[in-house]
Amino acid sequence: MPNEEAVLSLVSESVKESVRRGRWKYAKPPLYILVAMLVSTFVYYSVFGIGTFFTVMPDILFISAVIVMFFGAWYDFGAESYIKDLKDFYRKSITEADLVYINKQQLIMTLIYILIGFLYIGSGVAIYLLSSFIS
Amino acid sequence: METNINERQDKESGKVIVSINDFTLTFKTFDGTLRALENVNLDIYEGDTIGIIGESGSGKTTLATSIMGMVADNAEVEGYVKVKGETVASKDISGRSFRNLKRRQKKILYEKLINMRWKDVSMVFQGSMNAFNPAYTIEKQIGEVFKIHTKLTDEQIRKKSIEVIEAAGLNKSVLKSFPHELSGGMKQRAVIAMALSLSPSLIIADEPTTGLDVVIQAKIIEELKKIQRQQKKGMIIISHDIGVVSQLSKKVVVLYAGRIMESGPTWDVYQRPLNPYTLALMNSYPSLERAKRKMNGIPGETPDPYEERKGCLFAGRCGFADDKCFNETPELREIQKGRYSRCHYAEKLIGIQMSSDLAQADQNIEEYSNENETIMKLENVKEYFTLRTSAAGSLFSREEGSRYVRAVDDLSIEIQRGEIFGVIGESGSGKTTLARVIVRLLDATSGKILYFKSRKDTVDQSEDKDGVIDITAVKDRSREIKMLRKYSQLIFQDPYDSIDPTMSVYDVVNEPIIAHNITRDPLVARDMVGNALSTVNLRPPENYFERFSHELSGGERQRVAASRALVLKPEFIVMDEPISMLDVSLRAGFMNLILEMRKQFGITVLYITHDLASARYVCDRLLVMYLGVGMESGRSEDVIRTPLHPYTKALLKAVPVPSPEWDPQLVEIIGEIGNAVDVPKGCRFFKRCIYAQSICKDTPPPKMEVGKDHWYLCHFSQEELSRIHEGLAKKS
């Protein structure tokens, strides 16, 4: 078929794009939570004048970081239901290479979550340092 | 009392299962009294197979549910229905009278009905394949019947479930499946298995094949025939498809507005109808085995069921009617031995025979002569979808794993200006995707779709000097795409869904005028809407302006959809199964409208359907699609009369025709259409083709050209296919 290579390259490009989108979809919730926590700290301080958040928040962020990292390590990111769908709905067989690819993607997601965990810790340290200026 | 239809031969031979005597059923509603059935007399004997045909609203399903003892609370009943001697519907116990029964009487009646249902009479309801509980496996749902009606243990129920599922032609592994894991045909067979579970004496199948593809339909007919043969079950087949009814029943009852119009042996009724209504019904729809004659449909509409009844109910639509018909109610009389008709002039119809000669084709339908001017050219068009509906799917699909659906794969066709180009194939073959790609509702993955504008446009819009637009390359919101939207229109399958119920007919048809900013003058817009409605025979248009879609019949709604498509005077219309939701009597009218639109305005039509008879009637050329690939293409008469590809041959053989020679076992196709994900490297049809050889597995088939414009995609010539066929016959 004449355009097979061109079509496959288009499809491959769309696959890469959708993998990026998939990763971002899973990474979004903990990032949004982090932003919400940071914003709430400043809102409580600037609007209500409650400065204690600056002393409590680093601890909360550190605990959250551990939770996020553990969540990333334990959660399968929908791999099980995806495999089940492939087998039951699309009647596809799962090869060894498929499983390696899925494990690789899971590992990447876990690393992303660990990275996000470090972002939490970094934010906690930043707030801790900031609190010493405020107080 | 009227005469029973089958008394001549069966009274001696069998036991009465169902006895319906002078049965009249009316519904009391806020609008008045609706007469659903009137003086119906019918005896069904053990092993009888009876077909009931008629238009929508003729009372077919009401009659069937009455046999099951399911009469609505607001109904009033005269006469009775008895099943094996027990009254299940009568004046004293059904409908409004049921409320007046004492609690004990109600309890006794319930127990009687529970004992009767499934054990004596079971029913396959219309669309029941979609009524499975999605949360339970098939085994659990079939097992429920045994649990409620028998005292079998779980192990015995399991064994019985396996027996019935195998009797319905399914593998026992299906029992562990959930409904969504099964195809439509498998679900329908599972419903039939459920109906067979308690080995009833009579099975009522209400439209058992409606909504299924022809190949699946042939398989369901085969299973039902096998059940009739092996288990000697009585059956009532309710359908609007005369082909299905003729294959599954020995006798046929024609219902119209709640009255039996005609009854008798199926072949006789089909070949020599003795009632004008039956004649009109048979003539209102093209069939593959009959000549390609001009169909006229049945004029007018069924009588208002709320109105007072006088004379023959069909008189208003009957070409033979005179004063007597309007004033005197005809009786159901025996006209010939075993043939009953409710017509004053039934004797005059003796001798009128339905023609069934394929050789007489092309008699009245005008042949389209194309001027070799192309309007649309598709070059190697592909539309692939990736299997990534969820975030997990996006993440874990491997690029080298080819996880994409090849909905349309390397398709090249040319559509001539003014022709009606048909695309046929089973569900899932990529017909609708192709249409969507053509009108740019979907972006093609690759390939070119060239739209050749008419000369007038080329002059008007001088910047497009060549007058060709590559639909796949134009940008969104560009002038070209706006022009394309204006000149190519769509008519969808379901007129009940495609028209906004909150908009009046005027607003619906006026919407494209506003969207394309054609005019701001309300008088001009009014004229345009009026003309569009007149074109589709909604006259006078003013009468329709203020009406809403619920005030229109199915045929009128589809005409409104057509007028919406026509109002901008398009050059190209895509019609996606436009008649499949219409009643059988309205289909001919709409098909004629398509032909008329082409004749009057020179509109080019892409007609998508899985109904081969309608495709033959309206289309000039046909493309047969299978799993995204064009398998055969040519003049419609050539494709239908001399099919070349094994898939086309199988499709044509799968269409049930009212002929004793038709045998669903002769349909040369294996299994059901697969998905377009795991397609074979070679021929797409390889896994289902009985002619398949080793070359078909890995090598894509070449295009074999036979005569002008007729080609098919196969490794073998017709002589080679015949040789393979002979070899197969010898082996078997």
Q: How far is CA A103 from the centre of its chain?
A: 16
pLDDT of B538 over the 90 cut = no
Are residues A77 and B446, on separate chains, in Cβ contact within 8 Å? no
Interface of B with A (CB under 8 A): 180-181, 380, 382, 384, 386-388, 390-401, 403-404, 410, 445-447, 675, 677-678, 700
Closest Cβ–Cβ partner in B180, B394, B446 for A3 = B446
Other CB atoms within 10 Å distance of the CB of residue B497:
12
pLDDT of B687 over the 70 cut = yes
Q: How far is CA B517 from the centre of its chain?
A: 38
Place of tokens 């609690």: B103
ipTM of the complex model:
0.72
Are residues A1 and B388, on separate chains, in Cβ contact within 8 Å? no
Q: Is the dihedral of CA B639, B644, B650, B653 positive or negative?
A: positive
- Count Cβ atoms within 10 A of the Cβ of residue B553 and give its class: 0-12 exposed, 13-18 middle, 19 or more buried: middle
pLDDT of B624 over the 90 cut = yes
pLDDT value at residue B94: 87
Residues of chain B contacting A85 with CB distance shorter than 8 Å: 393
Residues of chain B contacting A21 with CB distance shorter than 8 Å: 391, 394
Place of tokens 């016959």: B729
pLDDT of B464 over the 60 cut = no
DSSP code at position B504 = B
- Residue scoring higher pLDDT (B720 or B284): B720
**Which positions ≥6 away from B128 have C-beta within 8 Å?**
B191
Q: Let me know: does B564 contact B556? Beta carbons within 8 Å.
A: no
> What is the spatial distance between Cα B142 and Cα B158, in angstroms, rounded to a whole number?
9
pLDDT value at residue B387: 63
pLDDT of B183 over the 50 cut = yes
Of all helices (H) and strands (E), which one includes residue B364?
A: none
Of all helices (H) and strands (E), which one includes residue B424?
A: strand B420-424
Closest CA to A110 of A28, A27, A21: A27
pLDDT of B557 over the 70 cut = yes
B207 torsion bin: left (phi>0), alpha (psi -120 to 50), beta (else)? left
Mean pLDDT of the B642-651 span:
92
Mean pLDDT of the B187-208 span:
88
Q: How far is CA B652 from the centre of its chain?
A: 15
> What is the spatial distance between Cα B646 and Cα B627, in angstroms, rounded to a whole number?
15
Closest CA to B643 of B730, B580, B714: B714
Q: Let me know: does B251 contact B235? Beta carbons within 8 Å.
A: no
Q: Let me know: does B352 contact B335? Beta carbons within 8 Å.
A: no
Of all helices (H) and strands (E), which one includes residue B468?
A: strand B468-470
What confidence tens digit (pLDDT) does each residue in B106-126 have? Answer: 899 888 888 888 888 999 887
Q: Which amino acid is at B216?
A: I
pLDDT of B5 over the 80 cut = no
Strand-by-strand arrangement of the B404-416 sheet: B404-416, B374-386, B446-452, B468-470
pLDDT of B403 over the 70 cut = no
B706 torsion bin: left (phi>0), alpha (psi -120 to 50), beta (else)? beta
Residue B630 pLDDT class (50, 70, 90 cuts): very high
Q: Let me know: does B675 contact A91? Beta carbons within 8 Å.
A: yes
With CA atoms as reference, the chain A residue closest to B447 would be: A3
> What is the spatial distance between Cα B476 and Cα B223, in angstroms, rounded to a whole number?
51
Are residues A11 and B380, on separate chains, in Cβ contact within 8 Å? no
> How near does any CA of chain B get to the CA of A23, in Å?
7
pLDDT of A61 over the 60 cut = yes
Q: What angle do CA B286, B287, B293 make, to 5 degrees?
A: 45
- Residue scoring higher pLDDT (B349 or B19): B19
Residue B176 pLDDT class (50, 70, 90 cuts): confident
pLDDT value at residue A52: 76
Q: Let me know: does B252 contact B269? Beta carbons within 8 Å.
A: yes
pLDDT of A125 over the 80 cut = yes
Structural tokens at position B86:
């027990």
pLDDT of B457 over the 70 cut = no
Q: Residue B405 — φ and ψ, nearest 5°?
A: -90, 125
Are residues B390 and A78, on separate chains, in Cβ contact within 8 Å? yes
> What is the spatial distance between Cα B442 and Cα B600, in angstroms, rounded to a whole number?
30
Q: Let me know: does A102 contact B396? Beta carbons within 8 Å.
A: yes
Q: Let me know: does B624 contact B645? Beta carbons within 8 Å.
A: yes
pLDDT of B593 over the 50 cut = yes
Q: Which amino acid is at B64?
A: A
Cα separations in angstroms, B535 against B223, B490, B597, B601:
45, 17, 8, 10
Dihedral angle over CA of B55, B61, B64, B65, nearest 10: -160
pLDDT value at residue B511: 94
> What is the spatial distance between Cα A64 and Cα B497, in angstroms, rounded to a whole number?
50
Q: Which amino acid is at B164?
A: V
Sort strands B234-238 and B259-265 into parallel, antiparallel or unpaired: unpaired
> How near does any CA of chain A get to the CA of B396, in Å?
5
Structural tokens at position B83:
């099943």
Sort strands B703-705 and B49-53 into parallel, antiparallel or unpaired: unpaired
Residue B390 pLDDT class (50, 70, 90 cuts): low
For every residue of B502-519, DSSP letters joined together read TSBHHHHHHHHHHHTT--
Q: What's the residue count for chain B?
A: 732
Of all helices (H) and strands (E), which one includes residue B234?
A: strand B234-238
Cα separations in angstroms, B381 against A36, B70, B336:
48, 53, 59
Q: Let me know: does B424 contact B214? Beta carbons within 8 Å.
A: no
Place of tokens 């940071």: A38
> What is the spatial distance between Cα A72 and Cα A34, in angstroms, rounded to a whole number?
15
Residue B283 pLDDT class (50, 70, 90 cuts): confident
Lowest mean pLDDT among B71-75, B247-251, B364-368: B364-368
> What is the spatial distance between Cα B249 and Cα B102, in angstroms, rounded to a whole number?
41
Residues of chain B contacting A98 with CB distance shorter than 8 Å: 398, 401
pLDDT value at residue B188: 83
pLDDT value at residue B357: 41
Closest CA to B85 of B18, B13, B154: B18
Cα separations in angstroms, B309 against B268, B306, B314:
30, 9, 11
Q: At what angle do helices B522-535 and B554-566 cross, to 10 degrees?
A: 130
pLDDT of A27 over the 90 cut = yes
Of all helices (H) and strands (E), which one includes residue B322?
A: none
> How near does any CA of chain B get to the CA of A30, in Å?
16
What confidence tens digit (pLDDT) does each residue in B476-535 have? Answer: 888 888 888 888 999 988 887 889 999 999 999 999 999 998 988 999 999 999 999 988
Structural tokens at position B208:
């058992």
The verdict on A24 touching B (C-beta cutoff 8 Å) is no
Q: pLDDT over 70 for what percent of chain A?
A: 85
Residue B456 pLDDT class (50, 70, 90 cuts): low
> What is the spatial distance between Cα B256 and Cα B53, in angstroms, rounded to a whole number?
9
Residue B724 pLDDT class (50, 70, 90 cuts): confident
Residues of chain B contacting A92 with CB distance shorter than 8 Å: 403, 677-678
Strand, coil or helix: B263 = strand
Q: Let me know: does A103 contact A83? Beta carbons within 8 Å.
A: no
pLDDT value at residue A2: 41
Q: Let me know: does B488 contact B436? Beta carbons within 8 Å.
A: no
Lowest mean pLDDT among B346-350, B359-363, B391-395: B359-363
> What is the spatial distance between Cα B325 and Cα B318, in angstroms, rounded to a whole number?
9
Q: Let me know: does B464 contact B455? Beta carbons within 8 Å.
A: no
Lowest mean pLDDT among A38-47, B217-226, B324-333, B463-472: B463-472
Cα separations in angstroms, A92 against B236, B368, B401:
41, 46, 10
> What is the spatial distance between Cα A23 and Cα A78, in angstroms, rounded to a whole number?
12
Outline where B168-287 has alpha helix (H): 184-196, 214-231, 242-248, 266-271, 276-283
pLDDT of B727 over the 90 cut = no
> What is the spatial distance between Cα B444 and Cα B474, in angstroms, rounded to a whole number?
12
pLDDT value at residue A11: 63
What confidence tens digit (pLDDT) does each residue in B117-160 have? Answer: 888 899 988 776 677 888 999 999 999 989 988 889 999 999 99
Residues of chain A contacting B680 with CB distance shorter than 8 Å: none
Lowest mean pLDDT among A61-65, A82-86, B70-74, B615-619: A82-86
pLDDT value at residue B646: 93
Q: Let me know: does A94 contact A86? Beta carbons within 8 Å.
A: yes
- Residue scoring higher pLDDT (B607 or B601): B607
Are residues A78 and B395, on separate chains, in Cβ contact within 8 Å? yes
Residue B11 pLDDT class (50, 70, 90 cuts): very low
Q: At what angle do helices A96-134 and A53-74 cross, to 10 degrees?
A: 170
- Residue scoring higher pLDDT (B537 or B102): B102
